[in-house]
Every structure is written in C-alpha cells, then in structure tokens.
Amino acid sequence: MDVQQFLAEFGHIANAPGGIAKLRELIFSLASDGKLLLDCKPIETTNLDKVADFIMGQAPPGSECNTSGNGTIFVKTGEFGEHYPIVREWTTKPLKFAKQGDVLICVVGATVGKLNLAIDCAIGRSVAAVRPRKGVNTKYLYFMLMPFTLRLRSDSRGSAQGVIGKTELSAIKLRVPSSDEQARIVAKVDELMALCDKLETQQQYRRKLQNTLRQSTLQAVATASSPHELQTSWARLYNNFGRLFHAPEDILQLRDVAFDLALRGLFLPESSLNSQVEITVDNRPSLPSGWEWKDLAELSEYITSGSRGWKSYIANSGDAFIRSQDIRQDALIFDNPAYVLLPEKAEGKRTLVRPSDLLLTITGGNVGKCAVVPELSYKAYVSQHVALIRLREPNLAEFTHFWMINAYGGRGFLSRYIYGDKPGLNLTQVGSVPIPVPPIASLPKIISYLRTHRQMCDRLAEQLRMKNTLAANLALAAVSTFTGITTEPEEQPMKAHKPN
C-alpha cells in the first residue's frame, strides 16, 4: 500500500456520508494487517489465546451493589464509555476482576463486541477482560481487536442476544510484531484518529452553519411581504441550493415552506402577500380576498373512528381493515393488510371509507399521519386508531390533505397535543384544526401549484439521495482498494405502493 495514496484519499472518504466511520474502520483494518506503516514486515498471525488470558465476568448479588462509592468499582456493559468505563456503581462483594492494562469487551447483549480500555474494577457477566501477556502492548491489542468487533457481532452465538465465549475470543487471529513496531503502529493510529476527530468537528461545524443559512433563507421566503420580495428570495434559495441542502430530509423544510405559501394563496399572482405567523386558534394570519379560516369540523359531515370492539371481527380474509400502520408516507399503503368480517349494523356503515375521505392516525408512534382515500376496488373500514374525516365538499380533499401534512399547517397545529408515553389525539382536537379555505374556483390553480412544488421537492430530494449514495459507494470502493475487503454498495430503498 502507498501511504501517500492513502492520505490523499483520506479527505475524500471522510467527506462521504458515513465516511468518518468508514475511515476509522479502514485505519484499524490497515493497522491489523500490518499495512499502515511502510516498513511493516510480513509475519504469521497467532491466535489471541496464545498471547492473552481471558477473565469472564460474574455478577455479584444485587444487594451487594450500590451507587454511593462503597466497595470496588463495578463495570457492566452499561458503563462502557467512549474509551474507558464510566464509574457509577460499586460492589461490596466483587467476584471477577479486571485491572488497568486489560482490554474490556462486551460479551452479551446488544452491545456485544464493544471495547474499552480497562481500569481496576470488578466486572459483571456481560463483560470479559482480555489480559495481554508480556510483549503485547495494551493499546496495540485494543486497536487490533477493533476490526473484529463487527465480525464478532455477526458470528456470536445465541438467538435473541449475541454471546461471545472463550472459544470465539481464542479464535481471533492477530499480528504480534516487535514492541517497537507495536508502539509505532499505536502512534500512527492515534495520529490518524486525531485527524478523524478534527475532520468530524469541522463537518459538524459546517453542517451547523449550513443549517443556520438554510433556516434564514427559508425564513426570508416564508415572510416575504411583496411578490418581488418573494421572487427574489425564492431565486436566492434555488441558486444556492447546493450550499443550503445536504441531505434528502433537509428538503422537507423547503417543501413545508412552499406548501404553506401555496396553501394560503401566496403563490397566486393575484394574491397579496402576508407575513407568516404562528397558527393558533385565536391568532390566525390574514388571507387573500375571498379566502376564510374554518375549523376542520365545520368543513366535515362528520369525524369518527372505529370502536374498541372490533377485535372479534378480525379475520384472515374479508374486507380491508385500515390501521395506523397502513397510513405512512402521506398515503394509504396496504403492503401487510388486515381484514375484518362485519355483520350488517351501524358500526360498519359509520366506519366504511369512501374515495376522498381523509384518514388521520390518532394513537401510537405513527400519530398525526394523514392520507386521502383513493378509488378502491374493495370495501375498507377504519380501526379505533384512525380518524375518518368526511368532508362536505369532496373537491377540498386534496387541498385539505396538503394542509394536514404541512408542518406549518395541520401537522404543526396538532403537534401541540401529541406528547407523553402514549401519544394520541381525540376527535375534538382533530376537528379544531384551522383550515384556510380558498374560493372553489381557485382550487385547480392552487392544487397545480402544490403538485408542482411536491414534484420539485421529490426530484431535489432524489438528486441529493443519489449524490450521497454515489459518494458513499465511492468511499466504499476506496476502502476496498486499500483493504481488499469488498462491501455491498448502498442500495436504493424499495418504494411502497398504494393499494390497487
């Protein structure tokens, strides 16, 4: 390996999405293979149990543990820090000990394979201490084990949780060069890790600055007070897109601002512009002539949801049963459908959906998501976790849906009610969402604007995603060039489909 070539690729890899993490893996891999220094000589690898001893942890009785500093420091996987354990628990009955100079490794659970440099302490059953024998530098051993942690995670025994035993530890192979070479490798890894830290700090600073600039530019668009000011602000944003937007999720902010302006008629040439203010029940921003604010309940024939007694009607086939998990990506998506068989009664009539109905999730982690019911070739009913909103004017369905998924609109309004361990909305809160209602004659033009901006934002997000995927795959290619390890490239996620 040409070290100069490696250093030349260093910044390129670091700037890719996830590049710093890949770069650290690359450094550890090169170090463990003896390729990080030009003068490393090829030597045979040896099994870890030939150069180190293993102390498997054992948990003391819970009654003998405390957080008041009484006894011996006690370390479990939860105490693993970035490099050294965090001291926060002690035991008066230590059973297994680690000491300074050991390397600690998590051997059980979700953090299996994680490493720390040891301190003098007792260790629990989820931790093992790897104690290097004479001639093995502790930090060198720590660095040499790093490339194996992901492999240990994937190869560990057990079903629900990963488990590493002495057999797995013993099978690890590593180079054990001279003490001088170990020290030089450690120094080089430390140097490159410090460079990674520096690059990471610079990236975080640039990202923070980029976020600030993006927010201020979007704010200038959102608060434009004249058509000329709006046009100027929008052109400034578009012309500086590459400097302001880094990830596909950044585009959501652009989408929300564009939606908000169009939903309040401010992209229409004939509209007068009004400054954006926070939407509250009592303080709503002014609207163009002919528009008016109405609560969602005023626009609806009714707002309802399924009852809790539907469990007995669940079946393997029958009519579709719409649950909260079926509403995502602002659409109704049946890729894992549920079914019900309902008797003829009012409950079924009340909760039967029709095209142009709005569906809003009202409980659970998916709360606040909204979809419009498309033309369906089957009957479908809503569960108790989904609000069915039937508008008096079906032509308003798409417009209202755009408003309900907007962070400045319905989604932002309802977010004030969504909190706690079990977030949820009641139907009164749903009905109180304020909607800016345009003249019916203006709807086609407004919907056209909304669709255009959604397509533009989707296109920009896709361009960013492809750009970042390409950069990540180029970084992976560079890593494989140096390590000889081929990693699967990033794949495009499968797109979910709306029901037929």
pLDDT per position as a tens digit, 216-242: 888 888 777 666 777 788 788 878 887
For residue 272, which phi and psi values (nearest 5 degrees)?
-85, 145
pLDDT in tens, 358-396: 999 998 888 999 999 999 988 999 999 999 999 999 999
User: Quick one: pLDDT at residue 273?
Assistant: 41
299 with 394, same domain: the answer is: yes
Question: What whole-number distance in Å separates Cα of residue 385 and Cα of residue 313?
Answer: 16
- Please report whether residue 415 resides in a domain: yes
Q: Which pLDDT belongs to residue 279?
A: 41
pLDDT at 255: 84
- Residues 397 and 307 grouped into a single domain: yes
In a shared domain, residues 225 and 203:
yes
Say yes or no: 214 and 265 in one domain: yes
Q: Are 300 and 358 in contact (CB under 8 A)?
A: no
Strand duo 370-372 + 380-382: pairing: unpaired
pLDDT at 271 over 60: no
Q: For residues 139 and 174, give the distance between their C-alpha atoms in angstroms, rounded to a whole number.
A: 14
Among the residue ranges 255-259, 336-340, 412-416, 423-427, the one predicted with the least confidence is: 255-259
pLDDT tens profile 14-58:
777 777 887 888 888 889 988 888 888 889 999 999 999 999 999
422-436 mean pLDDT = 91
- Looking at the fold, whether 261 and 302 belong to one and the same domain comes out as no
Domain shared by 70 and 33, yes or no: no
Q: How many CA atoms lie within 13 A of 137 on its CB side?
A: 17
Exposed / middle / buried, residue 238 (Cβ in 10 Å: 0-12, 13-18, 19+): middle
- DSSP line for 301-326: EEEEE--GGGGGGEESSSEEEE-GGG
What is the spatial distance between Cα 101 and Cα 359, in angstroms, rounded to a whole number? 60
More confident residue, 66 or 285: 66
CA dist 311 and 214 (Å) reads 48
Structural domain span for residue 479: 1-40+187-277+440-500
Dihedral, 237, 270, 259, 404 alpha carbons, nearest 10 = 160
The rounded distance, in Å, linking the Cα atoms of 404 and 372 is 11
CA distances from 36 to 48, 141, 365 (A): 21, 15, 47
Q: Please check the confidence at residue 478 and state whether its pLDDT lies above 70.
A: no
Q: Do 163 and 272 fall into the same domain?
A: no
Q: How far apart are CA 140 and CA 179, in angstroms?
A: 10
Q: What is the largest CA-CA distance in the chain?
A: 86
The answer to whether residue 286 is domain-embedded is no
Residue 483 reports pLDDT greater than 60: no
Residue 285 located in a structural domain: no
Do residues 135 and 156 share a domain? yes
Q: In this structure, what is the dihedral angle of CA atoms 151, 153, 158, 161, given to the nearest 10 degrees?
A: -170
Rounded Cα distance between 121 and 98, Å, is 5
- Smallest CA-to-CA distance from 327 within 368, 378, 287 is with 368
Q: Which of 404, 395, 398 is nearest to 432 (CA)?
A: 404
Is residue 282 assigned to a domain? Answer: no
In a domain, 324, yes or no: yes
Counting beta carbons within 10 angstroms of the beta carbon of residue 401, is it exposed (0 to 12), middle (13 to 18) or buried (19 or more)?
Answer: buried
Model confidence over 284-314: pLDDT tens digits?
777 888 889 999 999 999 999 987 777 778 8
User: Residue 170: CA atoms inside 13 Å, Cβ hemisphere, count?
Assistant: 7
CB 351 within 8 A of CB 305: yes
Question: pLDDT tens, 189-224?
Answer: 999 899 889 888 988 898 898 889 888 888 888 777
Q: What is the mean pLDDT of the chain?
A: 83
Query: 412, 437, 462 — which closes off a domain?
Result: 437
Q: How confident is the model at residue 500 (pLDDT cuts 50, 70, 90)?
A: very low
Residue 499: is its pLDDT beyond 60? no
Q: What's residue 336's pLDDT? A: 87
Tell me if 244 is assigned to some domain: yes
Is residue 10's pLDDT more than 70? no
Task: Say yes or no: 196 and 114 in one domain.
Answer: no
Same domain, 117 and 149: yes
Q: Token pair for residue 320?
A: 């579709």
Other CB atoms within a 10 A radius of the CB of residue 391 amount to 19
Q: Could you give the number of structural domains in the chain?
A: 3
Tell me, yes or no, whether 418 and 455 share the same domain: no
Domain boundary pick from 418, 437, 456: 437
Question: Are 417 and 299 contained in the same domain?
Answer: yes
Residue 182 domain-assigned (yes or no)? no
Q: What is the CATH number of the domain that holds 168?
A: 3.90.220.20
Of residues 141 and 448, more confidently modeled? 141
Give one word for 330, left, alpha or beta, with left for phi > 0 and alpha for psi -120 to 50.
Answer: left
Q: Collapsing DSSP states into helix, strand and coil, what is residue 278?
A: coil
pTM, rounded to two decimals? 0.62
* More confident call, 221 vs 154: 221
What per-residue confidence (pLDDT) applies to 485?
Answer: 45
d(CA 83, CA 64): 27
Report the sign of the C-alpha dihedral through residues 116, 121, 126, 129, in that order.
positive
Q: Which residue has the higher pLDDT, 470 or 244?
A: 244
In our burial notation (b when 16+ CB lie closer than 10 A, e otherwise), range 101-119 reads bbbbbbbbbebbbbbbbbb
Q: Is position 406 within any domain?
A: yes
Which of 132, 151, 176 marks a domain boundary?
176
